[in-house]
Chains A and B, each alone.
Chain A
Amino acid sequence: MEMKDVILEYVIEEYLEDEDEVLTFDSPLISGGIVDSFSMVSLKRFLENKYKISIPDDKATPEAFDTVDKIVTLVNEYIK
């Protein structure tokens, strides 16, 4: 499975209460109210564990986490 599919699947399972809700790679997660700032923590930890990376706190901004596409870009910066 491609990275963006893995992350999208995680986001759906982790954050959506309503199984009928549709999320895409460019759905706004933070600014759209799907992921609140507290809940970003688990997403960051998931990415770090899954891809064996460390994302500095100052790079894990709401903007950088706002869509699955943006998250993929961020993760790729830290994968060696």
Chain B
Amino acid sequence: MAYSDKVRNTYEGTLQGIKDKGVFKQERYIHSSQAADIEVEYPTGAPIQKVINICANNYLGLSSHPDVVQAAHEGLDARGYGMSSVRFICGTQDIHRELENRVTEFLGTEDTILFPSCMDANAGVFEAILTDEDVMISDRLVHASIIDGMRLCAAMHDTFKHSNMKHLEKKLQLHADKRLKVVITDGVFSMDGDTAKLDEMVALCDKYDAMLFVDESHSSGFIGKTGRGTHEKCGVFGKIDIITTTFGKALGGASGGCVSGRKELVEMCRQKARPYLFSNTIAPVVVAGVNKVLDILTKSTERRDKLEKNTEFWRKGLLELGFVLQPGDTPIVPVMLFNAKLSQDFSKDLYDEGIYAIGFFFPVVPNGAARIRTQISAGHDIHHLEKALAAFKKVGDKYGILGLTKQEIIEKYGL
């Protein structure tokens, strides 16, 4: 046995270091389906508590929607539990290709390829379409999975300041000699909830002959008037070269993701993307569920409209109470507390008031930018949000931060 005391001690020391830094992550066990009202065991062994969930990516409230659950059941019955294969050997069913075609239409692209997750899509896409003659120019706040994907790719990588179009243009000029250029951004940024300036980015990419890549994981299904995403909101639907997105958030919340875009790029992924080639196909039950989600979303905008109204209500309510929010209009509403310990204490007190929301701090967000990230859902009714606002008021009063500016909160609690 090679797992000696020395090896064990090494890992125990590392884990203790994580605990000492106060960044040790612990799971909270949920004893119910994903929804606005959930039943949580926290800490482990504690009595189960009914709480309102305001930190899920369940933007459209479809994770436990009866029609989606029913479709998943039918998919399970009709196409089985698993495929025991990657896609290109014997893992592609008719419903997989049906979903790819429907996503293509929904996102306004030329073709789509499914991946086990959007993490896998982002990990595989760059290596599949670029070589060491090319350059990737990414926003400095893109998601970690994109950073991992860029690391796996031989192309040069450079960054531009967050949403700074002048800086992006300088970078496009700097790298004008490269064979291919790809500008890379999130559609909606997951920690701040702000939206990429896709209209300006499309114009710059046209001017400098660069492709545009957008991760729409926090946008697909609800951003834009018919929920197609950030490109719809910015008036550039049909003009994005590469979109990646997930089915693990608004689009049913189970798992799976995709690369959708120019047909040659999608074909390159089908030939070369390693997470596609070397991991299992998406389970039929999930594919059937996502197909139903797209049915629901193409028939009616009712859910994204409700989400928009809920988001307005929530933002307005928090501002009226005197919290400092990150500006924006998406369902990601970060309540800024700046101090890491305050964010953890605040989250704990919210939980005691029946509200489940998590405090984020460095290194997940920049140092001194700790926050409670709230995420609104079409599954919330006004009474959920009113109860959550009352809890935020009570806890905000306890810490004396209501009505304080950013500077005043920092003076009171430090960074």
Contact = CB atoms under 8 A, between A and B. Distances in A.
Interface of A: 17, 36, 38-39, 41-42, 45-46, 49
B159 A42 contact: yes
B31 interface: no
B159 A38 contact: yes
Contacts of A42: 158-159, 171, 174
Contacts, number: 24
B158 A41 contact: yes
Contact of B147 (A17, A38, A41, A49): A38
Contacts of B174: 42, 45-46, 49
A36 B161 CA distance: 12
Q: Is the interface of A mostly helix, strand, loop or mixed?
A: helix
B201 interface: no
Nearest to A15: B161
Contacts of B157: 38, 41
Nearest to B161: A17
Contacts of B236: none
A57 to B, nearest CB: 10
B150 A38 contact: yes
Interface string B154-191: 00111101100000000100110000000000000000
Contacts of B140: 39
Interface of B: 138, 140, 147, 150, 156-159, 161-162, 171, 174-175
Contacts of B158: 38-39, 41-42, 45
A45 B175 CA distance: 9
Given A41-B158, A42-B174, 15 more contacts: A17-B161, A36-B159, A38-B138, A38-B150, A38-B158, A39-B140, A41-B156, A41-B157, A42-B158, A42-B159, A42-B171, A45-B158, A45-B174, A45-B175, A46-B174
Contact of B159 (A17, A39, A45, A46): A39
24 contacts: A17-B161, A17-B162, A36-B159, A38-B138, A38-B147, A38-B150, A38-B157, A38-B158, A38-B159, A39-B140, A39-B158, A39-B159, A41-B156, A41-B157, A41-B158, A42-B158, A42-B159, A42-B171, A42-B174, A45-B158, A45-B174, A45-B175, A46-B174, A49-B174
Contacts of A49: 174
Contacts of B150: 38
Contacts of A45: 158, 174-175
B127 to A, nearest CB: 16
A46 B174 CA distance: 8
Contacts of B138: 38
Contacts of A38: 138, 147, 150, 157-159
Contacts of B175: 45
Going nearest first, the 5 A-B pairs with the smallest beta carbon separation are A41-B158, A39-B159, A42-B158, A38-B157, A38-B159
Residue from the set B138, B157, B175 with the largest chain A CB neighbour count within 10 Å: B157
Nearest to A45: B174
A41 B175 CA distance: 11
A52 to B, nearest CB: 15
Contacts of A17: 161-162
